[in-house]
Amino acid sequence: MKPNQQDLNRHRMSTNYNAIAREYQASKMLPWRKHIESYTFFQVVGDLSNLHVLDLACGEGFYTRQIKLRGAAEVVGVDISDGMIQLAKEAEAQNPLGLVYHCQDALLLNLDQKFDLICATYLLNYAQTADELFRMGQVIANHLKPGGRFVTINSNPDYQAAVEAMFPYGFTRENADYSEGAEITWRFYQSDMSHIAVTNYHLAKSTHETALSQAGLSAIQWHAVEASPEGVAAHDEGYWNAIVSSQPIIGLSASKA
């Protein structure tokens, strides 16, 4: 099924990462990104040795580089933002790892290549409808080898905490409401209180499970985020309690038969 023009226009109206590429890159340095997001992501991913990996919604290559450094044989990064891809290519030029990047829309992707693992950190939460989520799932399934895995971290559909609850970690998350396709606004703050805003969309867990199953993925599992032992040791007791108890983000894994 091909996306119609309304779908494409809506996709283009999502967050303009070209305008905030460097600011979003800086937000990856917030401690929760390392000790909650990244820690959980790699716990779910497991051993990367000699795997061929596709990193969808790769942004400036934050995870693309880490995946390669953790033993992957090949890593290809894809992002819709040419500003983000430019940053990724700059990092590759400064410290060559053999990474390949493509500036393409994940809804339309066809690399004519199959991978052992596909990662798509913060991709699925850009789908505004079950149909868009299904098409993302199709792209993922079409690029996986039989037995290949899909692993992602995304906005948690079940998150219910107050907007300001995550502010101590340097960000806030605000749901317009919990209807299908409702906007989720993330704001990432710097020490001077300047911030950038990113718009995602709410779709229920059941919508994810149905759409991904229909797209050809199976063994779908949700994974609660956890704090790393290193992060626990580096902060006061109870520092991570709010984020771990409220779960603003969540892991998801699936496989292709």
Asked whether the predicted pLDDT for residue 6 surpasses 70, the reply is no
Exposed, middle or buried: residue 252 (CB in 10 Å: 0-12, 13-18, 19+)? Answer: buried
Among the listed residues 23, 17, 28, the one whose alpha carbon sits nearest the alpha carbon of residue 84: 17
Three-class DSSP category at 45: helix
Mean pLDDT for 111-115 is 96
Q: What is the pLDDT of residues 117-146, one digit of tens each?
A: 999 999 999 999 999 999 999 999 999 999
pLDDT at 190: 83
CATH class of 5-157+203-255: alpha beta
Number of neighbouring beta carbons within 10 Å of residue 208: 23
Asked whether the predicted pLDDT for residue 27 surpasses 60, the reply is no
Q: Calculate Rg over the CA atoms of the chain.
A: 17
Q: How many whole angstroms separate alpha carbon 42 and alpha carbon 63?
A: 10
pLDDT at 8: 32
Q: Which of 36-40, 83-87, 112-116, 148-152 has the weakest average pLDDT? A: 83-87
pLDDT at 194: 82
Residue pointed to by tokens 């716990």: 43
First to last CA, the chain: 22
Higher pLDDT, 13 or 65: 65
Q: How many whole angstroms separate alpha carbon 139 and alpha carbon 134?
A: 9
| Domain ranges across the chain | 5-157+203-255
> Taking each helix axis from N to C terminus, what angle separates 130-142 and 205-214, rounded to the nearest 10 degrees?
40
Average pLDDT over the chain reads 91
154's CB contacts (< 8 A; 6+ apart) are: 121, 122, 123, 124, 125, 249, 250, 252
Mean pLDDT for 101-113 is 95
pLDDT at 249: 98
- CA quadruple 172, 177, 181, 184: dihedral, nearest 10: -10
pTM for this entry: 0.89
Q: How many whole angstroms separate alpha carbon 71 and alpha carbon 116?
A: 13
Q: What is the pLDDT of residues 198-250, one digit of tens each?
A: 999 999 999 999 999 999 999 999 999 999 999 999 999 999 999 999 999 99
